[in-house]
Amino acid sequence: MKTFHQDPRDPEFVQNPYPFYDSVRDAGPLFHWEDYGILCSVEHKTVNAIMRDRRFGREAPEGFQPVHPAHLKPFYDVEKHSLLELEPPTHTRLRGLLVRAFTNRRVAELEPKIEALTYELIEGFPDGEVDLLPAFCEKIPIIIISRLLGVPEDMSDQLLEWSHDMVAMYQVRRDRAVEDAAVKATQDFSAFIREYIEARRGEPRDDLITHLIAANDEGEKLSTDELVTTCILLLNAGHEATVHSFANGIKALLEESDVPSQHFKTPEDTVQMVEETLRIDPPLHMFTRYAMQDISAFGHDFKTGDVIGLMLAGANHDPEKFACPMKLDAERGGIGNMSFGAGLHFCIGTPLAKLEMAVALPILFAKYPDMKLAEPLVYADRFHFHGLETLRVKLGVKNDG
* pLDDT attached to residue 122: 98
For β-strands 38-41 and 307-311, DSSP reports them as parallel
In the chain, the domains with their CATH numbers are 3-394 (1.10.630.10)
* pLDDT attached to residue 335: 85
For residue 152, give Cα distances in angstroms to 5, 144, 147: 46, 11, 7
Taken in order 359, 363, 369, 373, the sign of the CA dihedral is negative
* pLDDT attached to residue 296: 97
Contact 337, 359 (CB under 8 A): no
- Expressed in angstroms, the distance from the first to the final Cα of the chain is 59
Helix H or strand E segment including 279: helix 267-280
Phi, psi of 392 (to 5 degrees): -80, 130
Beta strands in 102-248 (DSSP E): 129-131, 216-217, 220-221
The alpha carbon of residue 98 and the mean position of all alpha carbons in its chain are separated, in whole angstroms, by: 18
The DSSP secondary structure of 342-359, one letter per residue, reads: -GGG--TTHHHHHHHHHH
Contact 85, 59 (CB under 8 A): yes
* pLDDT attached to residue 99: 86
Taken in order 320, 323, 324, 325, the sign of the CA dihedral is negative
The alpha carbon of residue 350 and the mean position of all alpha carbons in its chain are separated, in whole angstroms, by: 9
pLDDT along the chain (401 residues), means of 10: 96 98 97 98 98 97 94 96 94 88 86 98 97 97 91 88 92 90 97 92 90 71 89 83 96 94 95 96 97 97 98 98 94 88 94 96 98 97 93 96 71
